[in-house]
Amino acid sequence: MTVQDPTPFPKSSPVPEQVAFDRQELNVILGVYGRMVSAGEWRDYGMSFLREVAVFSIFRRTAEVPMYRIEKRPKLRQKQGMYAVIGMDGRILKRGSDLRAVLRVLERKLIRPVD
C-alpha cells in the first residue's frame, strides 16, 4: 500500500487591504472641496478607509451629519463604476468610473445666477 501525499488546501485569497484614494484622486476631490470652501458652502471633511470602501465625507459644519459622501468601491469597477456621490439622505446622486465626471454633480452647486 502506497501513501499518497495529502491534497493541499486551496490557497485562500489574501485578506484585502484597506481601500484608499490615491494622490491623483485626492487632488481632484480636494480641488472641488477647496472651491466649495472658498464659496462658503463647506467647512470640514473627514476620510475613512475601510476594507471595501474609501469615503470622503463633506460637512457644512463640524460634528454634524455629512452633506455628501464621495465613495470609492473598487469591486463595482466593472459594474456601475467605482465612484459615487451620495447625498445626506443616502440617495446616490451620481455614479461612474470617471471621478471628475462624478464630481460634476457637486460643482453644479457653485454655478449660481447673478442677481
pLDDT digits (tens, 9 = 90+) for 71-108: 998 888 888 888 999 988 889 989 988 888 888 888 87
Instruction: Write down the pTM of the prediction.
Output: 0.75
Structural domain containing residue 47:
23-107
Chain Cα centroid distance, residue 33:
14
- Would 60 be classed as within a structural domain? yes
What is the Cα–Cα distance from 20 to 41, expressed in whole angstroms? 25
- Would 16 be classed as within a structural domain? no
**Can you read off the three cell numbers belonging to residue 21?**
484614494
% the chain with pLDDT above 70 = 77
In the chain, the number of structural domains is 1
